[in-house]
């Protein structure tokens, strides 16, 4: 809640993609806790409904809509329906996937294309659908979930880093295009966050526990991040507190990239 006791998203509508788990779920819960009606979307309908239950258990407002972000027409349909029914103030393009660690030459082209489709085209599709609405109402905030991997090189993660670097720079372009209409676009660049996507990385290692400890040791804060910490940053960028912030990539990496 804000210092005034009212949530920062009172009477607002926020749509979050990939909100059945991890960072997306934490973000949906955070925005709802601050007053937003949250449209939880995901390909995972069971997880998505669970997110809505978590929101409603606290007396807050949410609804689930099944949505695959790679399907541009479906994204347009859901975004337009939500906007017609309730309006649209915040879009969080969070849905994203990782893949089994492989060098560039060992990565299957189909894997590369799938990662691009979800991580890049998904973000593009969300913006393509929401921006005309936000521009015409002359307000709105978009937050795209990029990654620390969009800022630095990560061996055996070429497809992932390719997409996250693209999301970061795409966000800057969107911000430049939309700024004159009073619409803001920002990105978050999380380091290693404790979600199923993060766990999948460790489970591929020979000794997952050792790999985790080694990873934690590399971070000046000596721990991995939590989804709620990313949700805090997303909520800030989506809120009026960030009214003069646009085209920014907010790094949440426990100090990794500066050390």
Active site residues: 160
Is residue 121 a contact point for ligand NAI (CB under 6 A)?
Answer: no
Residue 35 is a binding residue for ligand NAI (CB under 6 A): no
Identify the residue among 8, 12, 16, 17 touching ligand NAI (CB under 6 A). 17
CA torsion sign for 99, 104, 106, 108 is positive
**21 in contact with ligand NAI (CB under 6 A):** yes
Which one of 193, 231, 237, 250 is in contact with ligand NAI (CB under 6 A)?
193
Residues touching ligand NAI, count (CB under 6 A)? 30
Contact between 126 and ligand NAI (CB under 6 A)?
A: no
* 54-74 as b/e: b if 16+ CB within 10 A: bbeeeebbbbbbebbbbbeeb
Phi, psi of 130 (to 5 degrees): -85, -30
Strand partners, 189: 251
Please identify, using beta-carbon distances, which residue of 6 and 222 lies nearer to ligand NAI: 222
* Under rule CB under 6 A, residue 237 binds ligand NAI: no
Pairing mode, if any, of strands 90-93 and 140-145? parallel
Closer of 17 and 239 to ligand NAI (Cβ): 17
Indicate the residue among 77 and 139 with the shorter CB distance to ligand NAI: 77
Instruction: Provide the CB-side half-sphere exposure for 174 (13 A, CA).
Output: 33
Q: Give least dist CB 222 to ligand NAI, A.
A: 16
The least distance separating ligand NAI from the CB of residue 88, rounded to whole angstroms, comes to 18
As a whole number of angstroms, the distance between CA 67 and CA 122 comes to: 10
Are 174 and 124 in contact by the 8 Å Cβ rule? The answer is: no
- Report, in Å, the least distance between residue 158 CB and ligand NAI: 14
Determine if 62 is a binding residue for ligand NAI (CB under 6 A): no
Tell me which of 8, 29, 36, 47 binds ligand NAI, using CB under 6 A.
47
Question: Which tokens belong to 61?
Answer: 């407002």
Q: Does 50 bind ligand NAI (CB under 6 A)?
A: no
Task: Write the interaction track for ligand NAI spanning residues 131-160; mark x where CB under 6 A is met and - where it is not.
Answer: --------------x-x-------------
Distance CA 95, CA 31 (A): 16
**Residue 5 in contact with residue 209, Cβ under 8 Å?**
no
Structure tokens at 195: 């979600």
- Least Å from the CB of residue 23 to ligand NAI: 4
Q: Which of 29, 110, 12, 116 is nearest to 69 (CA)?
A: 116
Specify the residue for token string 């601050």.
34
Per the rule left: phi > 0, alpha: psi between -120 and 50, beta: everything else, 247 is left
* Region from 31-39, 65-73, 84-92, 131-139 binding ligand NAI, contact rule CB under 6 A: 65-73
Chain residues that interact with ligand NAI, rule: CB under 6 A = 17-18, 20-24, 42-44, 47, 67-70, 94-97, 118, 122, 145, 147, 190, 192-193, 195-198
């Amino acid at each position: 809640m804000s210092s005034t006791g009212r949530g920062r998203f009172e009477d607002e509508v926020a749509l979050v993609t990939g909100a059945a788990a991890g960072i997306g779920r934490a973000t949906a819960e955070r925005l709802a806790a601050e007053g937003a009606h949250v449209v939880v979307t995901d390909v995972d309908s069971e997880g998505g409904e669970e997110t809505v239950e978590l929101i409603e258990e606290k007396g807050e407002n949410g609804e689930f809509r099944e949505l695959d972000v790679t399907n541009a027409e479906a994204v347009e349909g859901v975004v337009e329906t939500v906007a017609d029914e309730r309006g649209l103030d915040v879009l969080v393009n969070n849905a994203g996937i990782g893949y089994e660690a492989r060098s560039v030459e060992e990565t299957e082209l189909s894997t590369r294309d799938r990662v691009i489709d979800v991580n890049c085209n998904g973000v593009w599709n969300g913006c393509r659908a929401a921006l005309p609405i936000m521009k015409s109402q002359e307000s709105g905030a978009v937050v795209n979930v990029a990654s620390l991997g969009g800022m630095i090189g990560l061996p055996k993660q070429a497809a992932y880093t390719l997409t996250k670097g693209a999301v970061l720079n795409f966000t800057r372009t969107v911000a430049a295009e939309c700024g004159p209409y009073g619409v803001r676009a920002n990105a978050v660049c999380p380091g290693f966050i404790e979600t199923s996507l993060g766990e999948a990385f460790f489970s591929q290692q020979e000794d997952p526990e050792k790999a985790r400890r080694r990873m934690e040791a590399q971070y000046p804060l000596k721990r991995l991040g939590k989804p709620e910490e990313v949700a805090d940053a997303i909520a800030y960028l989506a809120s009026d507190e960030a009214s003069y912030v646009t085209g920014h990539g907010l790094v949440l990496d426990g100090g990794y990239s500066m050390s």
